[in-house]
Structures are given as structure tokens and as C-alpha cells.
Structure 1
Amino acid sequence: MNEATIQSPPRRLRIWPLAIFLALAVLLGVGLTLNPREIPSPLLNKQVPQFELPPVKGRTLGLSTADLRGEVAIVNVFASWCTACREEHPLWMKLSEARIVPVHGLNYKDRPDDAANWLKELGDPYLRTGADLDGRVGIDWGVYGVPETFVVDKRGVIRHKIIGAITPQIVEEKLLPVVRQLQAEAP
């Protein structure tokens, strides 16, 4: 072979890998600027899904759709294996003790003994706690992971969702203002 028979690819073919790389880099850059807490929920402003969960082991009250009508309520999706749930738990204890709004727990894909021991060890801030052993109710609620928190209005409509652990700032600036606004609305 001589140099005349070895040809380099046309110039436009050499540019394609660079163009694809640049496009992917731009998409990655845009994706990194998005806030994962702001993932839209298709259930916002819709009725709570129909469900009925048994209580977590050792508790007497489970959680169902009917329990989320008649008053503004919070549903916190948690699990004993969730590190962020452990971090936010003291805030749920304080909010529960303040009796501003009923706080219910949806225990997601947890082993019964683990959930019971976790609540015994850390305290139980929940008025009702449903055991979603297989995660189907969580899927119906649109749960991406734990923890997640939902605010439900008096008519049983999901009005707000928080993805990830709550913080004192989130409680004061987002959660409580929504709760107070909904409590002030006529039934």
C-alpha cells in the first residue's frame, strides 16, 4: 500500500464524534443545574389514590384514603433503612408535639420488625402509620424514593410534595405556610 491508497475519512465524518460529545456535555451540564427536589408530581391537585394499609407492627392504627379527608394532613413516606429519614425524624417529632397538623406515616418497603424497632427507638410522631410492605401504595402515590412528604387538603387532594429530607428551613418556609393556607380555606 502506498500513501495514495490510504485516505483519511472525509472531514465531516471526523466532526461527528466531537459534535455528539459537545451535545452530551451540554445536556449533562443542564441536568446538573436542576434541583432534584423539584421533580414534578403528576398527583399534585388530584385526589389521594385509593388505598388501605395495615398498621406497622405494634401499632393499632393503619392508614387509608378515608383517613385523609376532613382535615389538612401530612403524609411522610419513610423507612428504617433510610439514612435521610433518620436525619429528619427529630423534626417530625417536634412537629407532631406542636399539634399544628396531623402527621401520618407511610412505611415504605420495610421489614415489619425493623419498622417497629425504628419507631420504638426514635419515637413515633405519627397519628397513623400504614405498612406498605411491597411498595405498591408508594408507587400509586408517585413515590420516587424515601423520604418524601405530601400535604393533603381537607378534601383529600394532594396539594404539595417535598422530595428528600425536610430541614428546619423547609418546615418554616415551605411546609408550614402550605399547611396554614390550606387550614384557612373553607372545607
Structure 2
Amino acid sequence: MTTVDDENKPTKAPITSRSWIVLIPTILFVVVAILFYERLQSGDPSKLPSALLDKSVPDFSLPPLEGLKENGKQLPGFSTADLKTGQVAVVNIWASWCVPCRQEHPFLIKLKQQTSVRLFGLNYKDKKANANRFLNQLGNPYDAVGVDPKGRTSIDWGVYGIPETFVVDGEGVIRFKYVGPINQALLDQKIIPAIKDSKG
């Protein structure tokens, strides 16, 4: 028996192939977005792949951090040529506004004390006065500090976020990369062994 109410109820439109054409890409987008978000939240940033591993460092030339002195002399900036001298080097990308950079800084000083490796600091999107204050207060482990005020060189290095640390062999080939602040365990288990391995 059909009542008046039944007759006034709107009928559901059947799902057509046109509806599916719109619906499928939307569902796929949502699934991919959820997977991407979960990967970002649960993933270890230090395990992000680097396209530059086992490749030559990019071509660059960075000016010095003005005012940063050692023994009364301006500490130099650095360039690609400084990483192709036949000696292993460590490049650390940092900024004074970066809290994890402050946390890792004592371990960079330890790295310099424990090894004879050349240590280069790439100062990322920082203010000159703040960067100088940071190194004057915490100590300067670097042999040279290059300034990257716009972040263009860091992009060429494939930087995801700072701090990041690279081990470069004497021919200028990147042999190791770590994303995030370093600590004593990382020094002992990864960075110092990578330095030794890079010496060949």
C-alpha cells in the first residue's frame, strides 16, 4: 500500500558512470593524502633518501659570515673547490634560530676534538648578528662558515630541513647524509665510521 508520504519522498538517483568518474579521483586523492601525512608523521626524517648520495657536491660559492673571526682574522666562506682537496670534510647546515642546531652543537665541537676532519658550516637563512652571537656563545667548531641567506645553495644540496650533516670524501663526493640533530651515539656509530670509510 502506497501512502501520500511515500509518494512525496524523493527518490534516490542511481549512481551513474559519470558519478564514478568524479568519485574515483577524489577517493584516490584522499587515500594518497592520508598515506603521505602518515608517512610524514611517523617517518624518521634521517632516513629520507638523498639524490646526491655518491654524487659530487653541487657547484657553489658561499661568502664568509662577516665578523666571525679566529685569531683576529676573518674566518673564510667556502666553495665546491674547498671540498675537492683530497681530504675528507663534514658539512653541517645550521642556523641560530634552529633549536635542534643548538642541541647538536656540543657534539660538533666533540667531533672536531675527536677527529682531524675539516668541518664546514653552512649558515642557512640567518641574520649575521644572530649567527655570530650563536657561535661566540657556544663555541665555533668550524674551519669555515659560508652564508646562504636565501637558501639557494641549500636547495642544491637537497636540504629537507635543518640541521643536516654531510660527509664528503676528498674528491668532493657525498658519502653520508643525516637529517636532524646529531648526538654522541650518532657520532660513534655513523658519522666517525663514515669519515673513516671516506678516507678509503
Check the 8 A contact 1:57/1:115 in 2, yes or no. Answer: no
Q: 1:7 aligned to 2:22?
A: no
Q: Which one of the candidate residues 77, 85, 92 is aligned to 2:93? A: 77
Superposition deviation, residue 63 in structure 1? 1.0
CA distance in 2, matches of 1:168, 1:123: 18
Change (3 A) 1:25 1:57: closer
Superposition deviation, residue 55 in structure 1? 0.9
How do 1:111-150 residues align onto structure 2 when only pairs under 5 Å count?
Answer: 111-150=127-166
**Percent identical residues:** 44
Q: CA RMSD in A?
A: 2.5
Q: Which runs of 5+ in 2 are unaligned?
A: 69-73
Superposition deviation, residue 23 in structure 1? 4.0
* Aligned-partner residue type, residue 120 of structure 2: H
SS at match of 1:40: coil
Indicate the residue corresponding to 2:109 in structure 1.
93
Cα shift readout 1:30-87 (whole Å, capped 9, x = no counterpart): 5544322111111111111111111112232111111111111100000000000000
Cα shift readout 1:111-159 (whole Å, capped 9, x = no counterpart): 1111111110110000111011111111111111110001101100111
SS at match of 2:91: strand
SS at match of 1:113: helix
CA distance in 1, matches of 2:186, 2:154: 22
Indicate the residue corresponding to 1:43 in structure 2.
52
* Aligned-partner residue type, residue 49 of structure 1: P
Q: Count the aligned residue pairs.
A: 181
Indicate the residue corresponding to 1:63 in structure 2.
78
SS at match of 2:5: coil
Q: Which runs of 5+ in 1 are unaligned?
A: none
Superposition deviation, residue 29 in structure 1? 4.8
Check the 8 A contact 1:76/1:148 in 2, yes or no. Answer: yes
How do 1:101-116 residues align onto structure 2 when only pairs under 5 Å count?
Answer: 101-116=117-132
Normalized against structure 1, the TM-score is what?
0.86
Normalized against structure 2, the TM-score is what?
0.80
Change (3 A) 1:23 1:172: same
CA distance in 1, matches of 2:126, 2:146: 11
CA distance in 1, matches of 2:150, 2:144: 18
